[in-house]
Structure 1
Amino acid sequence: MEIDYSNIKVIGFDADDTLWVNETYFRDAELEFSKLMAPYETANTIDQELFKRQIENLPLYGYGIKGFILSMVEIALELSNNSISNKTIDAILNIGKDMLSKPVDLLEGVEEVLITLSQDYRLIVVTKGDLLDQERKLEKSKITHYFHHIEVVSDKQEANYSKLLNHLDIKPSEFLMIGNSLKSDILPLINIKANAIHVPFHTTWMHEHVVATEKDNKKYKTITSLLEVLPLLNKNQKTRV
Structure 2
Amino acid sequence: MPASPRITTIGFDADDTLWQNESFFRLTQDRFTALLADYADPDHLHDRLLAAERRNLGHYGFGVKGFTLSMIETAIEVTEGRVPAAVIADLIAAGREMLEHPIELLPHARATVQTLAETHRVLLITKGDLLDQERKLAQSGLGDLFHGVEIVSNKTAPVYATVFSRHGDGPDRALMVGNSLKSDVIPVIEAGGFGVYVPHGLTWALEQADPPQDHPRFAALDHLGLLPDLVARLS
TM-score (norm 2): 0.94
Shift of 1:166: 2.9
C-alpha distance in structure 2 between counterparts of 1:13 and 1:141, whole Å? 14
Shift of 1:169: 4.8
Matched, 1:177 2:176: yes
C-alpha distance in structure 2 between counterparts of 1:161 and 1:29, whole Å? 31
Q: What residue number does 1:167 align with?
A: 166
Q: Which runs of 5+ in 2 are unaligned?
A: none
Identity of aligned residues (%): 36
Matched, 1:143 2:142: yes
Q: What residue number does 1:227 align with?
A: 225
Shift of 1:112: 0.8
The SS at the match of 2:195 is strand
Task: Write the letter of the residue equivalent to 1:182.
Answer: L
Task: Write the letter of the residue equivalent to 1:200.
Answer: P
Matched, 1:153 2:152: yes
Q: Are the equivalent residues in 1 in contact too, given 2:110–2:142 (CA < 8 A)?
A: yes
The SS at the match of 1:170 is coil
C-alpha distance in structure 2 between counterparts of 1:58 and 1:35, whole Å? 24
Q: What residue number does 2:89 align with?
A: 90
Task: Write the letter of the residue equivalent to 2:214.
Answer: N
Q: Are the equivalent residues in 2 in contact too, given 1:187–1:218 (CA < 8 A)?
A: no
Q: Are the equivalent residues in 2 in contact too, given 1:10–1:123 (CA < 8 A)?
A: yes
Offset from partner CA, 1:153-192 (integer Å, 9 cap, x none): 0000112112222333532221111111010000111111
The SS at the match of 1:204 is coil
RMSD: 1.5
Task: Write the letter of the residue equivalent to 1:90.
Answer: A
Q: Which runs of 5+ in 1 are unaligned?
A: none
Correspondences of 1:123-134 after superposition (within 5 Å): 123-134=122-133
Q: Are the equivalent residues in 2 in contact too, given 1:175–1:195 (CA < 8 A)?
A: yes
C-alpha distance in structure 2 between counterparts of 1:10 and 1:233, whole Å? 10
TM-score (norm 1): 0.92
The runs of at least 4 consecutive aligned structure 1 residues that moved more than 6 Å come to none
Offset from partner CA, 1:51-107 (integer Å, 9 cap, x none): 000000000000000000000001111111111111111111111011111111110
Task: Write the letter of the residue equivalent to 1:227.
Answer: G
C-alpha distance in structure 2 between counterparts of 1:24 and 1:50, whole Å? 16
Offset from partner CA, 1:17-38 (integer Å, 9 cap, x none): 0000001111111100000010
How many correspondences in the alignment? Answer: 231
The SS at the match of 1:203 is coil
C-alpha distance in structure 1 between counterparts of 2:129 and 2:52, whole Å? 18
